[in-house]
Structure 1
């Protein structure tokens, strides 16, 4: 299934490349590379997971089990004159991959 700006859905795994300071640089989704525009403000925020519903069982000291990380960035498909799209990304606690929440 292809996720396109015309039919955004959520929950697709994406690869995100970050700069040394932790800012997203590029997103790989559905075989395409989307370059984050460095001149447009990006937003980062955290929400809390409902830990009492997930019932994670881990040893003490494993890490943060409740902070869900989000990024919203403006990116364009590789190519000089392509249209910008807003990507909202999310990473669950202990997840190894980012998920694409929406494209608009």
Structure 2
């Protein structure tokens, strides 16, 4: 009985740790593996690149400036290069194509408009 109870507790803990996949249009993010799937391609992302995509996918249509993204993905103690966000976005675009993240000139970045219904 005690062994069964412990197994149930461990199984419940494992379920609590699972993170739902974040999907919007042609893209889906898996927080458990830090992978992004977009238009049939799946790649693992760095923690910061993943965080940027998570912000953009969870808030479709919202345009984020570079400084807003920096505030969301870095802590006060982090040393941040002036072009860090651009480097992460460049890496994402290199893996998935330039059209995955749109640059709204002079304003910021947003997730690409998607095909189909969303």
Same-fold call, TM cutoff 0.5:
no
Higher helix share: 2
Bigger radius of gyration among the two: 2
Higher RCO, 1 vs 2 (CA within 8 Å, ≥6 residues apart): 1
Higher strand share: 1
